[in-house]
Amino acid sequence: MHAYRSALLRFNQQGQVLYDEDGVLVIGPDATGRQVVQLAGDYGALQARLASAFPGLAVTPLPGRILAPGFVDLHIHYPQTDVIGSPADGLLPWLENYTFPHESRFGDPAYAAEVARFFLDELQRNGVTTALTFATSHPSSVDALMSEARARGLRLIAGKVLQDRHSPDGVRDETEQSLIDTETLIRKWHGVERLGYAITPRFAPTSSERQLRGAGELAAKYRDVWIQSHVAENREEIAWVHELFPQSRSYLSVYEEFGLLRERAVYAHCIHVDDADRALMRDRGAVAAVCPTSNLFLGSGFFDYAGADRVGHGYGLASDVGGGTSFSPFRTMLAAYYVGREGVAKPGLSLSPQRLWWLHTAGAAQALGLEGVIGNLQPGHEADFLVLNPAATPLLARKTAQARNLDELLFALIVLGDERVVERVAVNGAWAAPVPA
Ligand SMILES: [Zn+2]
């Protein structure tokens, strides 16, 4: 059992930030042995309860710091850790020239393990405690990442990429074997401690109809397994999908026709969609992973938050490294704000700092179907949390000291913050070992 006293950030059920300037957070095991939040709130108001429920428990003060939920990244590619920042003329040349050649190396378990370690270190350094990540088409790439995540006690979701056509040698898989491998990996990893599996067709153009159908059959058989893929990222890609699937109403409909739209299905991008697509997402309970640094980097377009809200489907924030340009949730939240402001391609709006933060923590957890489990510091949530230093740089110290209210404080952190703000990370109730700089 551990107790910490510092400023405390969490969310109410409506997604508004609850902020205690002088808060207390108590962490301890629940009936099943999971490390969860036992008590959270204003220190003065909870002092008597703290003394009666946890007599003699020492409270560790963290002066000048903010305790906050770990960030949740809804879409990332761990094998693209070394592809980040590669120059290209857009999505399809970027895949061909950088991504596929790099991913072809993950058949080597030792190589995959080395990248997995670096990737998880980088997530931790940036305060990301849960990610939904692609592996490569090689089963060994999943084994490497899951083994490393398990050793660290992380809640992590990953899957072997399915891509049996329009893909070069080295990453292309074989239809029947790919489905057998997927089911084997589900049985091996899904629900093991805090790990989850995601059925992972790369995107519709790189899977045959047989592979998509098989993926849909597995999604029906294993209802609590996740699904992850990409949809409607850019115009060339959409035109290609229409050539390959001429009978489908839209790109998103292709996934619907193969049984790949349901709860726990997370589709990256969702930029060039219409209201019929949005209604389909809503009705099936599928959600969008909004990837603003990637969409700006590759010039793909701007996610329409107002459109998503009007129709009412779920979404949350994601880095999409290596198309995305940063592992940092602060950079992603700032880019999400830029994308919201853009008012030519779609209606422009200002996402509030509280909304941006929620979309990368409790909101992202809700999109994963893990509401009440991660992404918040209310009692009962798993104890993945951060110690943030709002004075981590001279400019941040100056700016946050002048904040007159919560929105000003959070927005200063979003605009000026990066991994230097993330001082410590607790995973499953224990401090993660510092990652060497
Ligand atoms: Zn992606």
- Locate all alpha helices (DSSP H) within 67-197, ordered by sequence: 91-94, 100-103, 109-125, 139-152, 175-189
The rounded Å distance from CA 4 to ligand 1 centre is: 37
Strand partners, 266: 228, 287
Q: What is the pLDDT of residue 51?
A: 95
- Which of 80-84, 129-133, 190-194, 315-319 is the least confident region? 80-84
Q: What is the pLDDT of residue 147?
A: 98
Return the half-sphere exposure (C-beta side, CA atoms, 13 A cut-off) of residue 347.
9
For residue 396, pLDDT over 90 is answered with yes
Q: What is the pLDDT of residue 433?
A: 85
The rounded Å distance from CA 17 to ligand 1 centre is: 29
The rounded Å distance from CA 202 to ligand 1 centre is: 8
The rounded Å distance from CA 324 to ligand 1 centre is: 8
**Mean pLDDT value across residues 75-87:** 93
The rounded Å distance from CA 75 to ligand 1 centre is: 6
Within its chain, how far is the Cα of 426 from the centroid? 17
Q: Are 213 and 199 in contact (CB under 8 A)?
A: no
* DSSP secondary structure letter of residue 263: T
Q: What is the pLDDT of residue 329?
A: 98
The rounded Å distance from CA 291 to ligand 1 centre is: 8
**Over the stretch 252-296, which tens digit does the pLDDT of each residue have?**
999 999 999 999 999 999 999 999 999 999 999 999 999 999 999
Return the half-sphere exposure (C-beta side, CA atoms, 13 A cut-off) of residue 134.
30
**Over the stretch 20-56, which tens digit does the pLDDT of each residue have?**
999 999 999 999 889 999 999 999 999 999 999 999 9
Could you give the percent of the chain with pLDDT greater than 90? Answer: 95
Q: How far apart are CA 384 and CA 123, in angstroms?
A: 13
The rounded Å distance from CA 176 to ligand 1 centre is: 24
Q: What is the pLDDT of residue 92?
A: 83
pTM of the complete model: 0.98
Which residue, chain included where needed, has tokens 């609850």? 18
The rounded Å distance from CA 146 to ligand 1 centre is: 19
Q: How far apart are CA 88 and CA 297, in angstroms?
A: 10
The rounded Å distance from CA 356 to ligand 1 centre is: 20
Q: What is the pLDDT of residue 248?
A: 98
Q: What is the pLDDT of residue 233?
A: 96
The rounded Å distance from CA 29 to ligand 1 centre is: 36
Q: Is omega for the bond preceding 322 within 30 degrees of 0, making it cis?
A: yes
The rounded Å distance from CA 384 to ligand 1 centre is: 25
**Over the stretch 184-217, which tens digit does the pLDDT of each residue have?**
999 999 999 999 999 999 999 999 999 999 999 9
Q: How far is CA 269 from CA 233, 273, 282, 311, 403, in A?
A: 5, 10, 15, 17, 33
**Mean pLDDT value across residues 169-187:** 97
Q: What residues contact residue 18 under an 8 Å CB cut-off, 6+ apart? A: 9, 10, 11, 12
Which residue, chain included where needed, has tokens 């489907």? 313
The rounded Å distance from CA 378 to ligand 1 centre is: 31
Q: How far apart are CA 30 and CA 9, in angstroms?
A: 22
**Over the stretch 324-377, which tens digit does the pLDDT of each residue have?**
999 999 999 999 999 999 999 999 999 999 999 999 999 999 999 999 999 999
Could you give the percent of the chain with pLDDT greater than 70? Answer: 100
Residues in the chain: 437
The rounded Å distance from CA 99 to ligand 1 centre is: 11
The rounded Å distance from CA 137 to ligand 1 centre is: 14
The rounded Å distance from CA 261 to ligand 1 centre is: 17
The environment of the single-atom ion ligand 1, i.e. residues with CB closer than 5 A, is 268, 320
Q: Are 267 and 253 in contact (CB under 8 A)?
A: no
The rounded Å distance from CA 217 to ligand 1 centre is: 23
Q: How far apart are CA 123 and CA 113, in angstroms?
A: 15
